[in-house]
Chains A and B, each alone.
Chain A
Amino acid sequence: MPEIRPILLVEDNPRDLELTLAALEKCQLANEIVIARDGAEAIDYLFARGIHAERPAGDPTVVLLDLKLPKVDGLEVLDTVKKHAGLRHVPIVMLTSSREEQDLVRSYELGVNAFVVKPVEFNEFFKAIQDLGVFWALLNEPPPGLRSQNAI
């Protein structure tokens, strides 16, 4: 049984947050959901500093990252994480309200692991979140060296 690591959900919009949480809840995942409300907080969590300095060790199993965020936007968070040798392996799924070509291109350039446009239709949205949760939390195998490192 692999160790259960948290999912980091970065979302500034309270309604989106609520809907996403509702969707994730329905998946009945064992993973803890850590919430960051802007890009700066997300980075603090990932680097275990600031208000997250005392958080338990270990990287999240996946980061669900909204594109448009206050302070530090999603693309900057992505850039920071993917440029950092110790965090580069953390899967990041970009969630966005709309399929803007430029965002898509930029995200993949920066090394995003998946890019998901939030569907308007709730059932689709729900299914998308659920799929993401199941895929990244349960199905996906992180790189081997990492697991042992994290397991220590």
Chain B
Amino acid sequence: MRANLKDRRVKPSESDLNTVDREICAREPIQIPGAIQPHGALVVLRPADMTVIQASRNAFDYFGEGVTVGKAADGLLGSIVPRLAEWHRSVEPVMQVHIADTLQVTAHRSGPSIVVEVEHTPPGQLEGLFSKLRGFAQLLTAKPDIAGSLDVSARIIADLTGFDRVLAYRFDAEWNGHVVAEAGNGALPSYLDLRFPAGDIPAQARALYASNRLRIIPDAAYAAVPIEPATNPDTAGPLDLSQAQLRSVSPVHLEYMRNMGTAASMSVSILVDGRLWGLISCHSAHPHSVPVTIRDACDFIVQSLAMRIAALVHAEDGASRVALSRISGRLLASMSGSFGWVDGLVAIADDLLDQVGASGAAIVTEDRYLTAGDVPDEDQVRGIVEWLKTRDDQEIVSTASLSQQYGEAEDFAAQASGLLAVRISELYPSWLLWFRPEVVRTVQWGGDPHKVVHESGRIHPRKSFDAWREQVRLHARPWTPAELSAARDLRGAIVGIVLRKAEELAELSSELKRSNKELEAFSYSVSHDLRAPFRHIVGFAQLLRDRETGLDPKSQHYLQTISDSALAAGRLVDDLLNFSQLGRTALNRKPVDMNKLVAEVVKSVTIRLEGRAIEWSIDRLPPAYGDATLLRQVWFNLIENAVKYTRPRNPAHIAISGEAGHEQMTYRVVDNGVGFDMTYSGKLFGVFQRLQRAEDFEGTGIGLALVRRIVERHNGSITATGEVDRGASFVFALPSDIKKGRAIA
């Protein structure tokens, strides 16, 4: 498996050195070793005249006489020359022929030459082979998933070849390997779940594996047989053995095998859509050879497996696309709902995570912080957002190793080694963050490390696993292009929704502005024009009364009624205007001495009272923070009400008190007047709501509505309690100075 010569004393994290090492290894010319393994012989022919131009030193052992470099093939080899010539004219890549009962000859082209390989074949290889293959085919088609297919394939290969252990590897997108299935007799330790870094199988080895599907080393302790002469006379270069079955392998690879306690190995490539998807890798503790026929059967098995995998991968791909589009649809529907995009996403947290295959997600907006799944602490997430803000990039930031770019992330690598962040808005930045955990925290090697007794030397799987761990430390599974595009799509959807909402809001607000303006203009003209006629009525009635001194009492009463009605209407207009102006004028907030206000109001109210006995009880009041003019109006209306509704009392009691709290100041006006029925307390603060008959108590029905509006504009609250004929109590609370910053109406 291993073709990487790397000094393990170099710390793997020193990635520069790592890269240099790998590059050196990657240049190792593994396809032109100039020698073969000794379990067969190799002869190179010139197609034009079938002259032997190169031969392995042991060719005589297989073909006997007739294999002489520089002479035409003769003897046993010569007997198949006509068939070789016929094959060479065809397009078939490989020719196989059985000769002398015990020899299996395989020919292929290498450059301008024909390479003939020969191995001994023990008899009786085909016995039972086809029934086993049929059984395999049935099992394979019955397996619904990739894991099961790999398992079935590993088993039959172990059965057919007799290897002690058969592993199925799968490569990820970065060419890191993962043992996903295993079969065997227990003679070798389990490597199930073993991981190894991409560097363990360098690029040129992978290229070789992709073109030559099956390699075998029956005995790792073999003595290589040289090919003579070393240089191909027709190409003036070394012989390319990349397609040769007998090719001698890299000494590093042999060391690797010895270190992991294996004496024989065979590997078969799993090619899916032309790409090296994985490997079936077989090992034995002792030298072990596999006849060509069985190797061909294994090749067939693995090709069947590859087709099955391709079908499953495509089906999975299609299914995941469908699932993803369903998820997108659900997310979109949820976001467009009444909740808005933030709550819409969090409402279906699983879909939010599945959209990009994340384990955690956080949404950070100006005033909201929401999470789903496994995420770092809020402070840490906010730290990430601050870091993102310092970057002038992009709507989408993605990394599989956040700590490489943002050092603090090492603290919470377990939750967020992988980050996929999308910025929603430029003006009021909102962030949607997805997280993935560090890979090594999610993966452990299933094999029991104590059982790996054979491993020794510089390079072996245990060290590969460590190297892989080191390589993926602080790394998460990378975000695939499909996942990034899903994130981009979701961002597009969110932006669309945000923009649509913003447009709706803008439209609404401009409508509101327009109608507000109309209302203002209306109120302004009302304030001037509506008041005037009442003034005229009152004025002229008065002039008439002054002039007509001899009016009888009835006429005087009529005149008085005209005046009174006009006055009442005028007051109503004044109150209404006051009330409507309150919404339009800005609050002028300052510390207000409530004692002073109350003293003034009480004075101005009592000045008009003749013959009323009122016992006032006025406590020291805490200062308020608000608009003095408006607060004076509050006191005036409440105190005037208290005075008005205690008219039948002699004496009347009116108590004014207040208390300072940490967050709010509370003020109280209590009287012993006619009170009110609590059933109607809801109507008390409504405009034009009156709980008393007009002839008993005058009023416009706006006073308390005005009071509540003022208090609420100060972000305060007011409540009233009362009992018929026992009195009423009004309590209002205003936010204290401390809370003023948050108390903007």
B residues 571-623 touching A (CB-CB < 8 Å):
571, 574, 577, 581, 585
Q: Are A97 and B542 in contact (CB under 8 A)?
A: no
Flag the segment in A15-23, A53-61, A130-138 that touches B.
A15-23
- A62 sits at the interface (CB 8 A): no
Known: A98-B531, A122-B541. 13 other contacts (CB 8 A): A15-B532, A19-B535, A96-B528, A97-B531, A100-B524, A100-B581, A101-B585, A120-B531, A120-B534, A120-B571, A122-B538, A122-B563, A123-B542
Q: Are B531 and A22 in contact (CB under 8 A)?
A: no
Cα-based distance from A118 to B527 in the complex (angstroms): 12
- Given A120-B571, A123-B542, A97 and B585 contact (CB-CB distance below 8 Å): no
Cα-based distance from A45 to B653 in the complex (angstroms): 59
Q: Are B577 and A19 in contact (CB under 8 A)?
A: no
A-B contact pairs, 7 of them (CB 8 A): A15-B540, A19-B536, A67-B528, A96-B528, A101-B585, A120-B567, A120-B574
A82 to chain B, nearest CB (A): 22
Cα-based distance from A16 to B532 in the complex (angstroms): 8
- Given A98-B527, A120-B566, A120-B571, A16 and B535 contact (CB-CB distance below 8 Å): yes
A85 to chain B, nearest CB (A): 32
B706 to chain A, nearest CB (A): 15
Q: How many A-B residue contacts, CB cutoff 8 Å?
A: 60
Cα-based distance from A125 to B536 in the complex (angstroms): 10
Cα-based distance from A16 to B540 in the complex (angstroms): 10
B608 to chain A, nearest CB (A): 13
- A119 sits at the interface (CB 8 A): yes
Q: Are B532 and A13 in contact (CB under 8 A)?
A: yes
Binding site for B on A (CB under 8 A): 13, 15-16, 19, 22, 67-68, 96-98, 100-101, 118-123, 125-126
- Given A122-B542, A123-B542, A68 and B528 contact (CB-CB distance below 8 Å): yes
- B75 sits at the interface (CB 8 A): no
- B529 sits at the interface (CB 8 A): yes
Question: Which A-chain residue is minimally distant from B570 (CB atoms)?
Answer: A120
A105 to chain B, nearest CB (A): 10
Q: Are A101 and B581 in contact (CB under 8 A)?
A: yes
Q: Are A120 and B528 in contact (CB under 8 A)?
A: no
Chain B at the A interface: SS class: helix
Q: Which of A22, A68, A121 contacts B543 (CB 8 A)?
A: A22
- B318 sits at the interface (CB 8 A): no
Q: Are B535 and A119 in contact (CB under 8 A)?
A: yes
- Given A13-B532, A120-B566, A120-B567, A100 and B527 contact (CB-CB distance below 8 Å): yes
B108 to chain A, nearest CB (A): 99
Q: Are A97 and B538 in contact (CB under 8 A)?
A: no
Chain B neighbourhood of A121, CB < 8 A: 538, 567, 570
Q: Are A97 and B527 in contact (CB under 8 A)?
A: yes
Chain A neighbourhood of B563, CB < 8 A: 122
- Given A98-B577, A101-B581, A101-B585, A122 and B528 contact (CB-CB distance below 8 Å): no
Chain B neighbourhood of A125, CB < 8 A: 535, 539
Chain B neighbourhood of A19, CB < 8 A: 535-536, 539-540, 543
B385 to chain A, nearest CB (A): 44
Cα-based distance from A123 to B535 in the complex (angstroms): 10
- Across the A-B interface, the 5 shortest Cβ-Cβ residue pairs: A120-B570, A98-B527, A122-B542, A19-B539, A15-B536
Cα-based distance from A16 to B566 in the complex (angstroms): 15
Chain B neighbourhood of A119, CB < 8 A: 535
Cα-based distance from A16 to B529 in the complex (angstroms): 12
B residues 681-722 touching A (CB-CB < 8 Å):
none
Per-residue A-contact encoding for B447-474, CB less than 8 Å = 1, 0 else: 0000000000000000000000000000
Cα-based distance from A1 to B524 in the complex (angstroms): 44
Cα-based distance from A98 to B533 in the complex (angstroms): 13
Q: How many residues of B contact A (CB 8 A)?
A: 24
Chain B neighbourhood of A101, CB < 8 A: 581, 585
Which of A101, A119, A122, A125: most chain B CB closer than 10 A?
A: A122
Cα-based distance from A96 to B532 in the complex (angstroms): 10
Which of A15, A16, A68, A120: most chain B CB closer than 10 A?
A: A120
Q: Are B538 and A120 in contact (CB under 8 A)?
A: yes
Q: Are B528 and A98 in contact (CB under 8 A)?
A: yes
B residues 522-574 touching A (CB-CB < 8 Å):
524, 527-529, 531-532, 534-536, 538-543, 563, 566-567, 570-571, 574
A72 to chain B, nearest CB (A): 16
Q: Are A122 and B539 in contact (CB under 8 A)?
A: yes
Chain A neighbourhood of B542, CB < 8 A: 122-123, 126
Cα-based distance from A18 to B457 in the complex (angstroms): 120
Question: Which B-chain residue is minimally distant from A15 (CB atoms)?
Answer: B536
Question: Which A-chain residue is minimally distant from B571 (CB atoms)?
Answer: A120
Chain B neighbourhood of A68, CB < 8 A: 528
Cα-based distance from A119 to B573 in the complex (angstroms): 12
A39 to chain B, nearest CB (A): 15
Cα-based distance from A15 to B542 in the complex (angstroms): 14
Cα-based distance from A100 to B578 in the complex (angstroms): 9
Chain A neighbourhood of B529, CB < 8 A: 97
Cα-based distance from A125 to B563 in the complex (angstroms): 14
- Given A120-B534, A120-B566, A97 and B571 contact (CB-CB distance below 8 Å): no
Q: Which of B536, B541, B543, B567 contacts A16 (CB 8 A)?
A: B536
Cα-based distance from A128 to B574 in the complex (angstroms): 18
Chain A neighbourhood of B532, CB < 8 A: 13, 15-16, 97
Chain A neighbourhood of B538, CB < 8 A: 120-122
Cα-based distance from A97 to B536 in the complex (angstroms): 11
- Given A19-B536, A122-B541, A97 and B528 contact (CB-CB distance below 8 Å): yes
Chain B neighbourhood of A100, CB < 8 A: 524, 527-528, 581
Cα-based distance from A25 to B415 in the complex (angstroms): 90
Cα-based distance from A127 to B141 in the complex (angstroms): 109
B132 to chain A, nearest CB (A): 99
Chain A neighbourhood of B536, CB < 8 A: 15-16, 19
A127 to chain B, nearest CB (A): 12
Q: Are B527 and A120 in contact (CB under 8 A)?
A: no
Cα-based distance from A16 to B541 in the complex (angstroms): 14
Cα-based distance from A6 to B501 in the complex (angstroms): 64
Chain A neighbourhood of B541, CB < 8 A: 122
Chain B neighbourhood of A123, CB < 8 A: 542
Cα-based distance from A147 to B539 in the complex (angstroms): 36
Which of A67, A98, A101, A126: most chain B CB closer than 10 A?
A: A98
Which of B528, B540, B571: most chain A CB closer than 10 A?
A: B528
Chain A neighbourhood of B574, CB < 8 A: 120
Per-residue A-contact encoding for B343-377, CB less than 8 Å = 1, 0 else: 00000000000000000000000000000000000
Q: Are B577 and A118 in contact (CB under 8 A)?
A: no
B392 to chain A, nearest CB (A): 46
Question: Which A-chain residue is minimally distant from B541 (CB atoms)?
Answer: A122
Cα-based distance from A67 to B527 in the complex (angstroms): 12
B727 to chain A, nearest CB (A): 32
A128 to chain B, nearest CB (A): 11
B698 to chain A, nearest CB (A): 14
A24 to chain B, nearest CB (A): 13
Cα-based distance from A15 to B566 in the complex (angstroms): 15
Cα-based distance from A78 to B527 in the complex (angstroms): 21
Cα-based distance from A121 to B529 in the complex (angstroms): 16
Cα-based distance from A146 to B570 in the complex (angstroms): 42
Chain A neighbourhood of B527, CB < 8 A: 97-98, 100
Question: Which B-chain residue is minimally distant from A67 (CB atoms)?
Answer: B528
B561 to chain A, nearest CB (A): 15
B104 to chain A, nearest CB (A): 107
B125 to chain A, nearest CB (A): 107
Cα-based distance from A122 to B570 in the complex (angstroms): 12
A121 to chain B, nearest CB (A): 6
A143 to chain B, nearest CB (A): 33
Cα-based distance from A119 to B570 in the complex (angstroms): 9
Cα-based distance from A98 to B585 in the complex (angstroms): 15
Chain A neighbourhood of B528, CB < 8 A: 67-68, 96-98, 100
Cα-based distance from A13 to B531 in the complex (angstroms): 13
Cα-based distance from A126 to B541 in the complex (angstroms): 13
B residues 482-540 touching A (CB-CB < 8 Å):
524, 527-529, 531-532, 534-536, 538-540
